[in-house]
């Protein structure tokens, strides 16, 4: 089963915790045991699993990415958003998460984050559940 999560970002760079929406998609799929794939359909955004308890962690992640890939570098891409494209490649467009007994198997402090690098925008995240029941 598949689901789509729509996200309206409000800032140029932003982390949005989508853990609850992904868990709801797993529940709607009635997935007991299997894998949940979370995929971002955009080239200037990403998805990652990281600490969700302290918002300062995501601030630090974005600050480090800004140091690694400054917005106004010497880029060939004429649209002016090359840094966003590069950051999305570094972070990645998907995560695969195990599901047992209908629950995402995240660590105590972990959450799933949609990461905006070129907002504000309206974005889509696809959630695909795959059962390991081969019968």
| pLDDT per residue as tens digits for the range 22-76 | 999 999 999 999 999 999 999 999 999 999 999 999 999 999 999 999 999 899 9
Ordered structural domains, the chain, with CATH? 2-128 (2.60.120.460)
Instruction: Report in angstroms the alpha-carbon separations of 26 from 29, 51, 72, 105, 107.
Output: 5, 21, 40, 11, 17
What is the per-residue pLDDT for 132?
76
pTM value is: 0.95
Average pLDDT, the chain: 96
Q: How far apart are CA 76 and CA 78, in angstroms?
A: 6
Asked if residue 135 has pLDDT above 60, the reply is: no
Instruction: Mention every residue, 6+ apart, whose C-beta is less than 8 A from residue 79.
Output: none
- The pLDDT tens digits of the residues spanning 69-112 come to 999 989 999 999 999 999 999 999 999 999 999 999 999 999 99
- The per-residue pLDDT for 26 is 97
Phi, psi (deg, nearest 5) at residue 53: -80, -35
């Amino acid at each position: 089963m598949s689901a789509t999560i729509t996200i309206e970002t409000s800032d140029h760079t932003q982390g949005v915790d989508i853990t609850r929406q992904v868990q709801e998609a797993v529940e709607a799929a009635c997935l007991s045991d299997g894998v949940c794939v979370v995929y971002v359909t955009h080239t200037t955004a990403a998805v990652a699993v990281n600490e969700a308890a302290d918002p300062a962690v995501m601030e630090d992640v974005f600050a480090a990415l800004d140091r690694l890939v400054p917005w106004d570098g010497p880029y060939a891409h004429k649209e002016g958003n090359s840094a966003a494209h590069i950051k999305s490649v570094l972070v990645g467009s998907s995560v695969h998460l195990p599901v047992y007994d209908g629950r995402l198997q995240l660590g105590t402090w972990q959450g799933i984050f949609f990461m905006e690098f070129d907002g504000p925008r309206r974005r889509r995240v696809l959630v695909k559940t795959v059962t390991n029941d081969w019968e």
